């Protein structure tokens, strides 16, 4: 029997933890807690690094047992092989489905967090421009064709 079940078990644990971290990250964005955001980012990166190592290990095992092509291993090859296996591989099939479901959830959460972050960045940029006395209406073109704000003599910092 191929020893890939432990890899999927650990992958599922990582994805569950990642989902939890993404929820915490969204809350930290709402509270504008930069220290928590940085800590969560580091934890997410560590989980993603471990996930990459697990995936490499899984692919190497599949290559070793001649389940996927050595030169161009694909997920579809593995899935096709898995569907042809008997009921002894049911636990692996279920774990794989759980991992795929969790992965979709994590991607959705990550996209949501990206939209929240983008909104916060736009708001902060606007507030910064206000503090500098810039207005989005008062912009001129540079020699390169981009725009830059026109400074005002009546900035909040000079008031």
Q: Name the DSSP letter for residue 154.
A: -
For residue 54, the model assigns a pLDDT of 96
Number of structural domains in the chain: 1
For residue 140, is it within any domain? no
Encoded tokens for 128 = 């910064």
For residue 120, is it within any domain? yes
* Residue 129 exposed, middle or buried by CB count within 10 Å (0-12, 13-18, 19+): middle
For residue 84, is it within any domain? yes
Distance, C-alpha 7 to centroid of its chain: 20
For residue 138, the model assigns a pLDDT of 61
Sequence-distant (≥ 6) Cβ neighbours of residue 24 within 8 angstroms: 36, 40
For residue 149, is it within any domain? no
For residue 96, is it within any domain? yes
CA distance 31 to 29: 5
Tracing tokens 């898995």 back to the chain, one arrives at: 82
Range of the domain at 127: 5-133
Q: Helix-strand-coil percent breakdown of the chain, rounded to 5?
A: 70, 5, 25
| CATH code where residue 67 lies | 1.20.58.300
Q: State pTM to two decimals.
A: 0.79
For residue 55, the model assigns a pLDDT of 95
For residue 156, is it within any domain? no
For residue 129, the model assigns a pLDDT of 76
Mind listing the pLDDT tens digit of every residue in the chain (159 residues)?
Answer: 788 999 999 999 999 999 999 999 999 999 989 999 999 999 999 999 999 999 999 999 999 999 899 989 999 999 999 998 888 889 999 999 999 999 999 999 999 999 999 999 898 888 887 787 666 566 666 777 776 666 555 555 554
For residue 93, is it within any domain? yes
For residue 114, is it within any domain? yes
């Amino acid at each position: 029997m191929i020893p890939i079940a432990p890899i999927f078990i650990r992958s599922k644990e990582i994805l569950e933890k990642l989902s939890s971290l993404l929820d915490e990250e969204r809350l930290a964005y709402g509270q504008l807690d930069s220290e928590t955001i940085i800590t969560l980012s580091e934890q997410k990166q560590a989980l993603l690094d471990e996930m990459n190592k697990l995936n490499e290990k899984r692919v190497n095992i599949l290559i070793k047992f001649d389940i996927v092509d050595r030169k161009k291993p694909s997920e579809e090859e593995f899935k096709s092989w898995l569907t042809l296996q008997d009921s002894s591989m049911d636990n692996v099939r279920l774990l794989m489905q759980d991992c795929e479901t969790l992965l979709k959830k994590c991607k959705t959460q990550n996209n949501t967090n990206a939209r929240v972050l983008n909104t916060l960045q736009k708001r902060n940029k606007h507030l910064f421009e206000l503090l500098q006395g810039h207005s989005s209406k008062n912009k001129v073109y540079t020699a390169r064709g981009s725009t830059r704000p026109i400074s005002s003599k009546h900035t909040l910092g000079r008031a």
